[in-house]
Structure 1
């Protein structure tokens, strides 16, 4: 049966956001919805198997060894959080699963500080179950190792740093495990860590991440679109005081982000993360922004993480070299390159209830319009309100 092996089998930024939510927004509630971008057809009984796997998650516990690792790795997080996490239990009642024919729906609702951990593991479970229940045969373990090794040999020639960002759409736990083992054993310094805290502990590497789109989506629900990026980053800095200093830039398009990324925040944050739209255009805008603030772009870093493979990375490196710092987070091209079609699914926050206010719809305005999420009416309103020119 498909199941998770650890409470820490999740992306690092889910825990860092959870800590910030507990400190700043303990009464906030959130709703999330599964989006089947790839129009995958789910076999009969898929909902039953997913339900069983999610119910099993209630048994997960933070072990004493995991608590020590996490606390030692993150001295900037209060010890009270790790005590909280030791007592945290997934509540499967927060997750509603339905299937009609081959269509799957997943809805999550509850206090934000609790529900924030569901997204990544549920997506990983859906992927692994899909491949198992459709009888899809992947390449051998030896071939997986060879594929990763060959990619790393090529990346080594670029003299860059790379992290694994592939938990949510991985083929399976076993493939992910093998990938991290191969990356860790590769004889170079190119691989620097993983977004997955469980594997960071298992393979003695660094957990990597800061925050995700939902952080800013919630801030838009509470404070409005024009203040979402500014206050989202201000609050992040209030909690982490200069640690975890990579800012996600595309929740409401890069254009809107840089308008709110003022000189104080530009100096305070170590860099920005690119997650949609043309990477070279983004790099140009970022370099121009730093220069306009009197900051040497080479003192800052862009983390690129949007659907990367070697060709894309090579193109980005050739542009950025000597102009701005750069590093890369690679997802499914590591964890789901096994001879099968890769899944295209997301699970996004759709509504937020700040404090005890009314439920408010939330959206994401990606730099790639096809990746917008939320109701069309709310998206149209936000585009007009933020004065975004999608044809620029």
Structure 2
């Protein structure tokens, strides 16, 4: 096992780059990329970094030259033979050859496109623009680079023994969480922590701890490289990006209203089983379910990713019942802001009423709260979102207005079209 503290103390990016592979990314990005390459290969999109936690001055903490070196290193990466063999030959969600030969040939030839980086006060403006299938693969590595550079900047001020103690405390904290999770009968939980991890080495350590500590209750990781290295399941379905881009391309309010369902109709043609998971909150869960076509009620389950998770699951249960479906046969995946206390409470309330699963993110792979001076390693909310498609702005409403993105006038239009009324604001921690 890697001695993380010593590795950090001796850190040098040239021999220890942050992103080591093009598959050091979330599985759902590759699934979506294949769909986009098939259905919308010529759509031009722009992605942009958004730091929701304005109190974290990234441009003061992170050296711009080092950031450029890390991003340039990501652009130098290509798929290795072993990675290609794994993607081509492995079984994902019970299906062999999940990725087509045409997609794999495209992916094997891919180098990520250029980026644009500027300093704006105490923050960085980082954008990526180009063909959708290429640009979308920048999201996860860009976030991983920024998050780890911030960690490295703080850790660089600490001595060798101080680092040893810090990581010992972090390991103890995570293991104590695992010991609590062991007590939950029937628990199913996966690692969703790539995008805002403390570091690659720490995420890999956390996954190994979950494997040993939870056994079959740990069902896999969203990170493809770690899934390959540790011989575990790669977990992930689809994300807000798909309806956001399709909605931006709509010419009329009616086309806009139908865009989220058009996305899932395309997905329905490509995937089955546990890949048929609805993510309903892009433009408000209540309205999405109210107007959803009947065939969507037959899907395997639903992911709750914003708003009050208890309300979200209760809404899903009512909807399934109203559509003549048995909720006990449906899967609800909770994936927003989870930590042990919330996992315990959600499992206690919904186990037996639905099949319950958890995608545990930032507070699995980046819980160093209280371990550095001025709480300098506490996690924060950093995202990289599609901000335009073919020159038109994208919008995300969410079930939490604090997570909304897009121009104010477009947000107002989308709320009108999708019938979104008053929403409850919830602090965005991670």
TM tier, smaller: over 0.9
C-alpha contact 1:156 1:188 (8 A) present in aligned 2: no
Counterpart residue number, 1:257 = 288
Counterpart residue number, 1:365 = 397
C-alpha contact 2:400 2:423 (8 A) present in aligned 1: no
Counterpart residue number, 1:296 = 326
Of the candidates 150, 169, 179, which is equivalent to residue 206 of structure 2?
179
Counterpart residue number, 2:7 = none
Mean Cα deviation higher: 62-71 or 285-294: 62-71
Counterpart residue number, 2:180 = 154
1:352-379 Cα distance to aligned partner (Å, 9 max, x none): 02xxxxx211110110111101111110
1:1-392 residue pairs with structure 2 within 5 A? Answer: 1=13, 2-39=17-54, 40-42=56-58, 43=60, 46-71=63-88, 72-74=90-92, 75=96, 76-91=98-113, 93=114, 95-134=115-154, 135=156, 140-159=166-185, 160-186=187-213, 188-223=215-250, 224-242=255-273, 244-267=275-298, 269-338=299-368, 339=371, 340-353=377-390, 359-391=391-423
Report the Cα offset of residue 187 of structure 1.
5.0
Aligned partner of residue 206 in structure 1, secondary structure: coil
Counterpart Cα distance in 1 of 2:212 and 2:103:
32
C-alpha contact 1:229 1:260 (8 A) present in aligned 2: no
C-alpha contact 1:155 1:190 (8 A) present in aligned 2: no
Aligned partner of residue 251 in structure 1, secondary structure: coil
Give the TM-score taking structure 2 as reference length: 0.86
Give the TM-score taking structure 1 as reference length: 0.94
C-alpha contact 1:44 1:101 (8 A) present in aligned 2: no
Call closer, same or farther: CA 1:187–1:347 in 2, change over 3 Å.
closer
1:313-363 Cα distance to aligned partner (Å, 9 max, x none): 11111211221111000011111012331121111111002xxxxx21111
C-alpha contact 2:178 2:214 (8 A) present in aligned 1: no
Mean Cα deviation higher: 369-378 or 251-260: 251-260
Counterpart Cα distance in 2 of 1:188 and 1:144:
21
Counterpart Cα distance in 1 of 2:280 and 2:245:
15
1:140-196 Cα distance to aligned partner (Å, 9 max, x none): 444333322221221121121110000111111111111112112225321110010
Aligned partner of residue 117 in structure 1, secondary structure: helix
1:237-283 Cα distance to aligned partner (Å, 9 max, x none): 1222556111211110101220243221210x210111000111111
Report the Cα offset of residue 44 of structure 1.
6.5
Counterpart Cα distance in 1 of 2:423 and 2:266:
32
C-alpha contact 1:361 1:374 (8 A) present in aligned 2: yes
RMSD of Structure 2 on Structure 1 (CA): 1.7
C-alpha contact 1:210 1:245 (8 A) present in aligned 2: yes
Q: Gaps (5+ residues) in structure 1?
A: 354-358
Report the Cα offset of residue 109 of structure 1.
0.4
